[in-house]
Amino acid sequence: MSTADRIADLAARHEEAVVLAEKKAADRQHVKGKLTARERIDLLLDPGSFVELDEFVRHRTVEAGIPRPYGDGVVTGHGTVDGRQVCVFSHDFTTLGGSMGEAFGSKVVKIYDFAMSIGCPVIGINDSGGARIQEGVMSIAYYTELGVRNVHSSGVIPQISLIMGPCAGGSVYSPAITDFTVMVQDTSYMFVTGPEVVSAVMGERVTAEQLGGPAVHAEVTGNAHYVGEDERDAISWVQTLLGYLPSNNLDTPPVYHHTGDPGVTEEDLALDAVIPDGEQQVYDMADVITAVLDDGDYLEIHPDFARNIICALGRVEGHSVAVVANQPNHLAGVLDIDASEKAARFIRFCDAFSIPVLTFMDVPGYLPGVQQEHQGIIRRGIKLFYAYAESTVPKITVITRKAYGGGYAVMGSRQIGADRVMAWPTAEIAVMGARSAVPFLHRRELAAAPPEDRAELKDRLTEDYRRRFGNPYEAAAHGYVDMVIQPSRTRVEVAKALASLRNKRHTRPERKHGNIPL
């Protein structure tokens, strides 16, 4: 047999073995409503772009009965999404339960190092039983190695985790450090300790869904930034997300051609009526965001967590922009612990990757109460202040209605570092609302008034306070507000401001790093 024939024979045998193994894997995964490791990669990447690395790596454990499959339970390589380079690793749950051992870990660490060397995002597709018990400390060592790569890559390249199955123990630590985590309804779980161990140790009976299902992490813990209806939906969300992001911290996000109307449109004019007449009436801030961003399109981050604040990625004149906005129709847009931490982490990510921050402010302040105080709102709420003050990207703030007290200071005010502050005529910039302020300011006057006149006096004093302070012109007189604009001009003025700030240069004093109140 010639050399060429031998090569062809070996290749054919390998291809046959791979096809057979993939078919068996597909059968086992499909019956659970899940895709295989390679099917997930094929869905994520542009057709034909995947280049696999370390396909023939095998573990070195020689204990009897432990198979030594090629690839060792993880597929690694690189390819493109919409023509842009990414690196990817995908756990193969059908091979040794997708558990991490030395060979598995070395493959993932290697692809991370490669991504850092060329400056491209890493997408990890996680479906793992955790550490490989048979390999002992080597498994834990590689979870640590991977975690160190996550930390060193943070703020340098985007890191995205897809949770496609039950991830427990060590396999959840790495996703927790990455920038975005996406789960899948019905098939994915995340917990440090599974329900069986919780039951045995703590005596608490709980299901996997109750302990660490997608709903828990999307609505309660905030660990999941999005929950896909199925794996295809989750992967599609990641593809959309990548379109807003640069490949690394030295690159710029892709710019898309946009042919929007430069003048005020019918859609813009609708904003003139968005603020309700009654001060206690709510409205949907999403209507404002939709009117300002290109084609009314944006990708919301954490849509089900801390719904009193909106974090989203969109575009203005084709350029990526981050939106942070109070949501008046949920808890009146008040800031609490969850909202503060949600927005703070999002702002810090966008600052690391030079994405401008556009803030829409309608905030009555921080949420009062024993529960919030005892859970640490002083320390945890101030993270949002830290994130805004630390960031150096262009920052534009639009005050639509309430801007009270500490909420005003934190939500992108001029003093915290906003480059441009715009206010609608409906803006109320004050220490507190008129109805709350009057009893403090006029306590003696109200107490001295005859009981039958007290209500009328209070209404008159409230209206006087609102006339004097319930408007943006006092703040504008001090230069804290740059422009008072009609709501219908918001899109036009925001676009002009962003264009003027595109080449903004701003540096901070040299230091090792700050000490955010974690």
Helix segments in 263-415, DSSP class H: 266-269, 285-292, 337-352, 370-374, 377-390, 405-410
**Higher-pLDDT residue of 9, 408:** 408
Query: What pLDDT, on a 0 to 100 scale, did the predictor assign at position 104?
Result: 86
Q: What phi, psi does 60 have (nearest 5°)?
A: -110, 10
| Most confident of the ranges 1-10, 22-31, 448-457 | 448-457
**Higher-pLDDT residue of 442, 290:** 290
Task: Kindly give the pairing relationship between strand 180-184 and strand 226-228.
Answer: parallel
Query: What pLDDT, on a 0 to 100 scale, did the predictor assign at position 9?
Result: 65
| Residue-wise pLDDT tens digits, 131-167 | 676 666 776 788 889 999 999 999 999 999 999 998 8
Q: Distance between CA 116 and CA 100 in Å, rounded? A: 22
CA-based end-to-end distance of the chain: 67
169 burial via Cβ count (<10 Å: 0-12, 13-18, 19+): buried
Q: Distance between CA 85 and CA 95 in Å, rounded? A: 28
Average pLDDT value for residue range 311-321 = 97
The answer, yes or no, to whether residue 191 has pLDDT greater than 80, is yes
Average pLDDT value for residue range 254-264 = 87
Binned at pLDDT 50, 70 and 90, residue 259 comes out as: confident
| Residue of 361, 373, 439 whose CA lies nearest to 405 | 361
Query: What pLDDT, on a 0 to 100 scale, did the predictor assign at position 63?
Result: 63
Query: What pLDDT, on a 0 to 100 scale, did the predictor assign at position 25?
Result: 61
Query: What pLDDT, on a 0 to 100 scale, did the predictor assign at position 460?
Result: 85
**248 and 51 in contact (C-beta within 8 Å)?**
no
**315 and 256 in contact (C-beta within 8 Å)?**
yes
Query: What pLDDT, on a 0 to 100 scale, did the predictor assign at position 96?
Result: 72
Query: What pLDDT, on a 0 to 100 scale, did the predictor assign at position 364?
Result: 93
Full-model pTM: 0.91
User: What tokens appear for 65 in the block?
Assistant: 């009965």
Query: What pLDDT, on a 0 to 100 scale, did the predictor assign at position 21?
Result: 59
Query: What pLDDT, on a 0 to 100 scale, did the predictor assign at position 93?
Result: 83
| Residue of 381, 243, 241 whose CA lies nearest to 309 | 381
The answer, yes or no, to whether residue 469 has pLDDT greater than 70, is yes
Among 28-32, 193-197, 310-314, whose mean pLDDT is lowest? 28-32
**Higher-pLDDT residue of 388, 9:** 388
Average pLDDT value for residue range 51-58 = 88
CA atoms within 13 A on the CB side of 91: 26
Q: Is 41 helix (H, G, I), strand (E, B) or coil?
A: helix
Amino acid of residue 93 = F
The partner residues of 311 in beta bridges, in order of sequence, read 301, 324
| Residue-wise pLDDT tens digits, 327-386 | 999 999 999 999 999 999 999 999 999 999 999 999 999 999 999 999 999 999 999 999
Percent of the chain with pLDDT over 90: 64
Q: How far is CA 17 from CA 29, 43, 69, 137, 218, in A?
A: 18, 23, 11, 32, 40
Average pLDDT value for residue range 106-112 = 95
**391 and 348 in contact (C-beta within 8 Å)?**
yes
| Most confident of the ranges 25-39, 288-302, 444-458, 471-485 | 288-302
| Residue of 427, 491, 17, 41 whose CA lies nearest to 258 | 491
User: What tokens appear for 131 in the block?
Assistant: 């550490």
Residue holding tokens 């206010």?
Answer: 423
Query: What pLDDT, on a 0 to 100 scale, did the predictor assign at position 18?
Result: 57
Query: What pLDDT, on a 0 to 100 scale, did the predictor assign at position 485?
Result: 97
DSSP code at position 198: H
The answer, yes or no, to whether residue 188 has pLDDT greater than 70, is yes
50 burial via Cβ count (<10 Å: 0-12, 13-18, 19+): middle
Average pLDDT value for residue range 420-430 = 94
User: What tokens appear for 340 in the block?
Assistant: 């503060």
Residue holding tokens 């003050």?
Answer: 389
pLDDT, mean over the chain: 90
List b or e across 77-92, with b for residues whose CB sees 16 or more CB atoms inside 10 angstroms.
bbbbbeebebbbbbbb
The answer, yes or no, to whether residue 171 has pLDDT greater than 70, is yes
Kind and range of the H or E run holding 295: none
The answer, yes or no, to whether residue 64 has pLDDT greater than 60, is no
Amino acid of residue 84 = R
Residue 284: count other Cβ atoms within 10 Å of its Cβ.
14
Query: What pLDDT, on a 0 to 100 scale, did the predictor assign at position 262?
Result: 81
Query: What pLDDT, on a 0 to 100 scale, did the predictor assign at position 168?
Result: 83
The partner residues of 7 in beta bridges, in order of sequence, read none
Annotate 388-416 with DSSP letters as a single string. HHH--S-EEEEEEEEEEHHHHHHTT-TTT
Q: Distance between CA 118 and CA 222 in Å, rounded? A: 31
The answer, yes or no, to whether residue 59 has pLDDT greater than 90, is no
**305 and 337 in contact (C-beta within 8 Å)?**
no
List b or e across 427-437, with b for residues whose CB sees 16 or more CB atoms inside 10 angstroms.
bbbbebbbebb
